[in-house]
Chain A
Amino acid sequence: MKFIKDHIMFILPLVAILLGIEFFLVFDRMTASYEQRLREGYSMLVVSNEPVTLQELQSINKNIGQSTKIEKDEILKEISLGQKPEDIKEIINTLPSFYTIKLAKYLDTSDLDKLQKDLSANKKIKRVETFGSSYSSNYKLFSFIKFILKVFIVFMSVVSLFLVIKQMEVWGYVHRERMQVMEIFGAPVMLRSGILFKVAIVDAFIATAIIVSIFLYFRYQLAEIMELDILVNNSQLLFQPIDALILLFCAIVIVVISVYMVVFSSREKEA
């Protein structure tokens, strides 16, 4: 009974830390995918007097990722109906070039303003039009939630780490007597702490398995039951196999450090 209690007291905070890490991973992926969608949904139309290449545009502002020229033929077809061929030539010469521009990365409002200003300031460019007005208001809420969540995750992890260390101290008292007796009889560190390492690594696996099952359940069951469209459509954001490795790695690092703390605090002190 005491054995089980000792383990739960160790596994629970470990689970809390891993939960924080997994939330962080999930949120990071969601953020990335959301930003990508925002970025893709946003476009800018540039009208210039003479043709400009992507390189030229990028030298004006490096946040431009892509530019597509709108072919003049399309426009011409519309406006040249019934015109004489000489007039059409004239129109072609005076018609400016149109480009749609995609961003290289997600930009906040001030960077967008700057991009717009940079382009407008260029002599070649006549006009700059943007589409995607909800861009900044959505994103402000989004970054606020992101910030709150990060603060929460850090706070939870710190508290949990203290609990892990606390439980390790309890183990330290439990195992100290045995480790000291073994040391008197010449046992090397690995033998003295072997049992502790075994127990702690088993706990690391248990904690990882708990988190992995919870998130697999979220991914395959809960999202559908709750009809969370965003999650159903993006369920691969919720859990990815690599997460299991990241979590296991973190769990093992945490327990190994904790065990070393116990082992070294129980070494015979030469007064």
Chain B
Amino acid sequence: MANIIKATDLTLAYDRGKNEIIKNANFSIKKGEFVFITGPSGSGKSTLLKSFYGHLKPAGGSMIVGGVELSGVSTSKLQELRTHMGMVFQDYKLINEWTVAKNVVLPLMIAGYSLDVQQTQAQRLLRHVKLTEYGNKHPFELSGGEQQRVGIARALAKNPMLILADEPTGNLDEYSSNVIWDLMENACGQLETTVVVVTHRIPTIFSLPYRHFIIENKGVYEVH
């Protein structure tokens, strides 16, 4: 199957290249895969994930995501690419002054869908994450687990080709975490979305043989 992410001699750095976090990494992720990336705290997991959606551009080498070379990509091309991705964050990054329903359909709003479509899709998505009654509430009125379900619903809104999650259960108890993992596995299994999860520890509920990369000494290696 085709690669959705391909890194070749990838180097990622902060402070205009002075602070290298990833150096000469080579790896690829295929369409429809569910992949874990782990590593100790401060090893560069979030940095690597940020580079997948172009928040951090390669300081060296090449990174191709969804057929787009991100090294030197234009702003408009990057914006277009991001509309085919769904991002999930440890701190949820929901917009508190908006209702839950409006948060969920942000990707549809960006894509210019009509309010009608947005409303029906909001209902469908909230049903999917079992928050049907919460549409008119605001994110700050929800528990952490519920907020992250909103985050997942938003990531799924436009049937993205790729979901990127950075420690999505980092702030959640075990029960809420399992709900989130279920939703992510389901997205990959049923919707054929590629899911890349960055986490410092692989949750024990995962028994399936998912691929797993680890960041060590600025390199990215597959664990077998």
Report whether A186 and B93 are in contact in the complex, using a CB–CB cutoff of 8 Å: no
Q: Tally chain B residues at the interface, Cβ within 8 Å.
A: 25
Report whether A185 and B110 are in contact in the complex, using a CB–CB cutoff of 8 Å: yes
Indicate if B56 sits at the interface (CB-CB under 8 A).
Answer: yes
Interface residues of B in 146-194 (CB under 8 A from A): none
Could you say which residues of chain B place their CB within 8 Å of the CB of A184? 53, 55, 82, 87, 93
Q: Which segment of B23-31, B73-81, B213-221 sits at the interface?
A: B73-81
Report whether A186 and B82 are in contact in the complex, using a CB–CB cutoff of 8 Å: yes
Indicate if A188 sits at the interface (CB-CB under 8 A).
Answer: yes
Could you say which residues of chain B place their CB within 8 Å of the CB of A271? 14-15, 56
Could you say which residues of chain A place their CB within 8 Å of the CB of B94? 181
Report whether B56 and A270 are in contact in the complex, using a CB–CB cutoff of 8 Å: yes
In angstroms, Cα B68 to Cα A186, docked, is 15
Indicate if B106 sits at the interface (CB-CB under 8 A).
Answer: yes
Indicate if A246 sits at the interface (CB-CB under 8 A).
Answer: no
Nearest residue in B to A178 (C-beta to C-beta)? B95
Report whether B57 and A188 are in contact in the complex, using a CB–CB cutoff of 8 Å: no
Indicate if A30 sits at the interface (CB-CB under 8 A).
Answer: no
B interface list, Cβ under 8 A from A: 14-15, 53, 55-57, 76, 78-83, 85, 87, 93-98, 106-107, 109-110
Given contacts A185-B83, A188-B76, 19 further A-B contacts (CB under 8 A): A177-B96, A178-B95, A181-B93, A181-B94, A181-B106, A182-B106, A184-B53, A184-B87, A185-B87, A185-B106, A185-B107, A186-B78, A186-B79, A186-B80, A186-B110, A187-B110, A270-B57, A271-B14, A271-B15
20 contacts between A and B (CB under 8 A): A178-B95, A178-B97, A181-B93, A181-B94, A181-B95, A181-B106, A182-B106, A184-B87, A185-B110, A186-B79, A186-B80, A186-B110, A187-B79, A188-B76, A188-B79, A191-B109, A270-B55, A270-B56, A270-B57, A271-B14
